[in-house]
Amino acid sequence: MDLRSMQHHDRSEEVDVVVVGTGAGGAPLIASLAARGLRVVALEAGANSEPGEHTPDELEGSDINWMDERLSGGGTPTAFGPNNSGRGVGGSTLHWGAFSPRPDARDLRLRTTTGEGVDWPVDPAELTGYLERVEDFVGVAGPEHYPWDPSRRYRMAPPARNASSDAMIAGCEAVGITATDAPVALSTEDRHQPHFGLRQACVNSGSCHQGCRAAAKVSMDTTYLPFAVAHGAEIRPDATVTGIELDARGRVAAVVYVQEGRELRQRCAALVLAAGGVETPRLLLHTGLANGSGQVGRNFMAHPAVQVWGRFDTPMRSHRGYPSSIISEDMVRPDGADFAGGYLMQNLGVMPLTFATTLVRGGGLWGRSLTGAMDDYAYYSGAGINGECLPSEGNRLTLADETDALGVPRARIDFTAGANEDAITAHAVPVLRSILEAAGARSTMVLDRTAHTIGTCRMGDDAATSVVDAHGRSWDVPNLWISDNSTFPSSLTANPALTIMALSLRTADAMLAA
């Protein structure tokens, strides 16, 4: 993004707020606070780029992913790298898929309604107001009539369907499942984004996960961050935070970061950590802060995200066109389920390297079976889920003995899917398979996987069992706030980014009111 006319602050000046990270959790808050006249400095470990610099090449495109090593353990280790988080001005929204369902109100009351998991300390109606603010500002396309929430309105028509979308619609119709165009955070018409300029209508290139060259896909560097900079915020790219300094009263006084090999500090009156579900708890464990509850790093969650791929007789070329254009919410609370919560379904289209990696990791394919499946790549179409993951204290991020190049211990994440997640996957596989078979798939294969990095600094109403309060403020360090997907007390069935952005605006309002 264009940072040329950006305001600069002196490091010796005490700015009002330093924000670590410029993704979905950081950017809306940075924009809100700057618009209200606060002096905000955002420190971002990754580089700044322009949309036109993105490339659909999967190998070259990985420079927008967080590729630093993370240690992954447990019974069902999570895959990191391109599967899990981003790096750069814009964070993970540089490479996200822009599939943007709203959270289901029942998921925010999971404990009350099912006896499992936890309730969120957030009023669903209040959250909806923030979701609508985000949708209005960034632009979300969707169907004219949303079957599971008739009150909802999307202002832009959905993107064009591809062969894989058509297959999912046909298969769902045949087996009696309701499916429609998904809510997606991209423009389907040329759009003037305030302080950024023209975001072109989606050209259906299918390379959303490598970054959108047309700026059609919502990314923080084409929406909230240009707005923030126009209102005086400063963004420092390539600046990795390694330490936090406290004053004599135990409040944050300054942040230590490394930029161009130099260790620097920025004084601040308040600090917001928006570094994501792995780097935020890692920084807190490294500095020993905000962990009076002992909950930092605990309750790591990853959505069950099993995929079923069908081999069709005719080419599907599911990598062409916007990849996740169909949704079904029929299984958010399926009848007769033996688990708490439920799952969303969507169609899939992936680039070849991602497909190959998932065949290996999720399907155990190797040698001739792998090359055979890749030979048929163009004939495959897939459908997958995003399912509830219950919080569990044993699923935990800790610090490893190894350190990174800046001397910070690496994160180790141990994750084992629980009985509830296994039951969701077991329920979903035959449903997905029946959809693909009804659409004409000759054979199917199941690729197991999880998605997203959630939890680790949960919000709550009780300082003994949560890291931050219901608005993201640390119970232990009053001028430290967290705004990213680490604060989720449970995973929700909805994909997370829209909710993260909404909570980010809500945390900004709480900071302004404090």
Where does this chain bind ligand FAD (CB under 6 A)?
Answer: 20-26, 43-46, 83-88, 91-93, 95-100, 209, 240-241, 274-276, 279, 283, 452, 484-485, 495-498, 500
Q: Does 204 bind ligand SF4 (CB under 6 A)?
A: yes
User: Comparing C-alpha atoms, which of 497, 480, 500, 7 is closest to residue 235?
Assistant: 7
**Burial class of residue 342 in the structure, from the number of CB atoms within 10 Å of its CB (0-12 exposed, 13-18 middle, 19+ buried):** buried
Q: Does 203 bind ligand SF4 (CB under 6 A)?
A: yes
CA angle 113, 118, 120 (to 5 degrees): 95
To the nearest whole angstrom, how small is the minimum distance from the Cβ of residue 363 to ligand FAD? 18
User: Comparing C-alpha atoms, which of 142, 163, 413, 440 is closest to residue 300?
Assistant: 413
Polymer length in residues for the chain: 514
User: Closer to ligand FAD at the Cβ: 241 or 373?
Assistant: 241
Give, as ranges, the residues between 317 and 356 that touch ligand SF4 (CB under 6 A). Answer: 322
The interface partner of residue 204, options being ligand SF4, ligand FAD, none and the CB cut-off 5 to 8 Å by kind, is ligand SF4
The window from 213-221, 223-231, 253-261, 415-423 that contacts ligand SF4 (CB under 6 A) reads 213-221
Cα gap 217→229, rounded to integer Å: 20
Contacting residue, 92, 93, 207, 266, with ligand SF4 by CB under 6 A: 207
Q: Does 214 bind ligand SF4 (CB under 6 A)?
A: yes
To the nearest whole angstrom, how small is the minimum distance from the Cβ of residue 262 to ligand FAD? 15
The answer to whether the beta carbons of residues 486 and 276 sit under 8 Å apart is: yes
Per-residue x/- track, 283-322, ligand SF4 (CB under 6 A): ---------------------------------------x
User: Comparing C-alpha atoms, which of 202, 227, 194 is closest to residue 320?
Assistant: 202
Q: Which residues of 146-169 are buried (b: 16+ CB within 10 A; e: fewer)?
A: beeeeebebebebbebbbbbbbbb
User: Closer to ligand FAD at the Cβ: 327 or 438?
Assistant: 327
The interface partner of residue 186, options being ligand SF4, ligand FAD, none and the CB cut-off 5 to 8 Å by kind, is ligand SF4
Q: Does 61 bind ligand SF4 (CB under 6 A)?
A: no
The interface partner of residue 21, options being ligand SF4, ligand FAD, none and the CB cut-off 5 to 8 Å by kind, is ligand FAD
Largest CA-CA distance found in the chain, in angstroms, rounded = 70
Element (H, E) at 260: none
To the nearest whole angstrom, how small is the minimum distance from the Cβ of residue 440 to ligand FAD? 26
The CB-nearest residue to ligand FAD is: 23
User: Closer to ligand FAD at the Cβ: 324 or 434?
Assistant: 324
Q: Which residues neighbour 350 within 8 Å (Cβ) at sequence distance 6 or greater?
A: 209, 318, 319, 323, 358, 382
Give, as ranges, the residues between 221 and 260 that touch ligand SF4 (CB under 6 A). Answer: none
Contacting residue, 27, 64, 172, 212, with ligand SF4 by CB under 6 A: 212
Cα gap 358→381, rounded to integer Å: 14
CA torsion angle 477 478 479 481 (round to 10): 80
The answer to whether the beta carbons of residues 457 and 476 sit under 8 Å apart is: no
To the nearest whole angstrom, how small is the minimum distance from the Cβ of residue 320 to ligand SF4? 9
Cα gap 435→442, rounded to integer Å: 12
Contacting residue, 206, 237, 472, 489, with ligand SF4 by CB under 6 A: 206
To the nearest whole angstrom, how small is the minimum distance from the Cβ of residue 295 to ligand SF4? 37
User: Closer to ligand SF4 at the Cβ: 217 or 449?
Assistant: 217
CA 141 from chain centre, in angstroms, equals: 18
To the nearest whole angstrom, how small is the minimum distance from the Cβ of residue 501 to ligand FAD? 8
Number of residues that bind ligand SF4 (CB under 6 A): 13
Q: What is the DSSP letter of 400?
A: E
Give me the amino acid identity at 317.
R
Q: Which residues bind ligand SF4 (CB under 6 A)?
A: 186, 202-208, 212, 214, 216-217, 322
